[in-house]
Amino acid sequence: MLQMQSAKEPRVPDHPPPLIVATWSFSARGCRKAFPDLLSGSSALEVVCGVAREAEADPSVDSVGFGGLPDATGRVTLDAAVMVAPERCGSVCAVSRHLFVTDLARRVMERTSHVMLAGEGADAFADAMDMPSTDLLSPAAAQAWQRWRVGEPIGRPMDAGPTTGQLFATPASAAHAPAGFRHATERETPHDTIGVLAIDRAGSLAGACSTSGLPFKLAGRVGDSPIIGHGLYVDPEAGGAVATGTGEMVMGVNGTFLAVECMRRGATPGEAVHEVLTRIERRFRPQTHQQVALIALSRTGEWSAGALRSGFIVSCAQGSGTELLQPQFVMHPEDVVDGPHPADAGGGS
């Protein structure tokens, strides 16, 4: 029997349903944990920080936080950024004593008049914020560095698994997958930055990213992740984007700023991601071992993801669950990136 709606019942809000999208399968655990909070009213900013924190604390993720592979000198340095609007963003880079760098970036945004703190200054700010300091080099990452130094195969954790993408998968149901996406059934290749975008019940957007950077990078190298407009950009008037992969190429085209500007001018998220990857291809002519992938989310809640090469997976929490999805398009599906390449590392040619 039909029920009359009481005048006192809340009106169905006129904005998109809550959503989290994040790079790589390792972010699925954080998405799954954070999504109920998002549905209960947590802010998008709170949620993207929570998803990033989960990966930062996971020693099995060798590209983010504790467990991240060190630079060429054996030292782990972390980069992160958060953003909710052009006038509300924060980031840190080359942090060497503190683990929860996304929370630290948030504190830069909320407690200082600056956008970005680097190196020892960022660590000192974390001390001042009473954030605990810690050794960031995990035993597995130290071993990988020792092997890399003598030219042995590195054997990253991803090399061992068949279809890593299925480890966290919810029972297959394509019900929530946007058109053009397939559930992830292929093997995920070595991963990189965690980038997270969310839209909350109030319709607000937020984004975060966190990384230990390229494995065995030259000491002092900083990539795209902590630089606003490169690894992360959010503008509530247009949308948000996150990037993962070889940061130097993302930096050359202001990758996420470009994606958001494309959406501002009317492009769909898919068209925006395609424009960024096409521009990277045209200018850099990436080698087959070099991967870049982006996720773009419009202010109205549509999203898309694309990658240069096979092996990129998106974690998506929406509707009733968390899913692992293939990106909507891959520019070169025949290429599979299978590990860190000497030419990208500090000791390479």
115 near ligand GLY, rule: CB under 6 A: no
Q: Cβ closer to ligand GLY: 165 or 231? A: 231
Torsion angle, alpha carbons of 262, 102, 136, 154, to 10:
-20
Strand partners, 233: 241
Mask for 159-198, x = binds ligand GLY (CB under 6 A): ---------------------------------xx-----
Residue 256 touches ligand GLY, criterion: CB under 6 A:
no
Q: Which listed range, 16-24, 170-178, 245-253, 279-287, lies at the site for ligand GLY (CB under 6 A)?
A: 245-253
Stretch that binds ligand GLY, among 67-75, 123-131, 241-249, 313-321 (CB under 6 A): 241-249
What does the alpha-carbon distance between residue 216 and residue 2 come to, in Å, rounded to a whole number?
64
- Minimum CB distance to ligand GLY, residue 39 (Å): 30
Nearer to ligand GLY, 231 or 340 (CB): 231
Q: Are 59 and 68 in contact (CB under 8 A)?
A: no
Which residues are the active-site residues?
193
Q: Kindly state whether residue 291 participates in binding ligand GLY, applying the rule CB under 6 A.
A: no
Shortest approach of ligand GLY to residue 44 CB, angstroms?
22
**Measured between alpha carbons, how far is residue 275 from residues 231, 261, 326, 331 in Å?**
16, 11, 19, 11
Q: Which two tokens stand for residue 343?
A: 């030419």
Using CB under 6 A as the binding criterion, the count of chain residues that bind ligand GLY stands at 13
For residue 191, what is the DSSP state?
-
Residue 244 found at the interface with ligand GLY (CB under 6 A): yes
Going residue by residue from 208 to 227, which x/- string records binding to ligand GLY, judged by CB under 6 A? ---x-xx--------xxx--
Q: How far is the CB of 316 from ligand GLY (least distance, A)?
A: 20
Q: Is 290 in the site for ligand GLY (CB under 6 A)?
A: no
What contacts 189, CB < 8 A, 6 or more positions away?
Answer: 158, 291, 309, 310, 311, 312, 336, 337, 338
In 3D space, the residue among 33, 49, 30, 42 whose CA is nearest the CA of residue 108 turns out to be 49
Strand partners, 207: 83, 197
Q: Does 344 bind ligand GLY (CB under 6 A)?
A: no
Name the 3-class secondary structure at 205. Answer: strand
Positions that interact with ligand GLY (CB under 6 A) = 192-193, 211, 213-214, 223-225, 231, 244-247
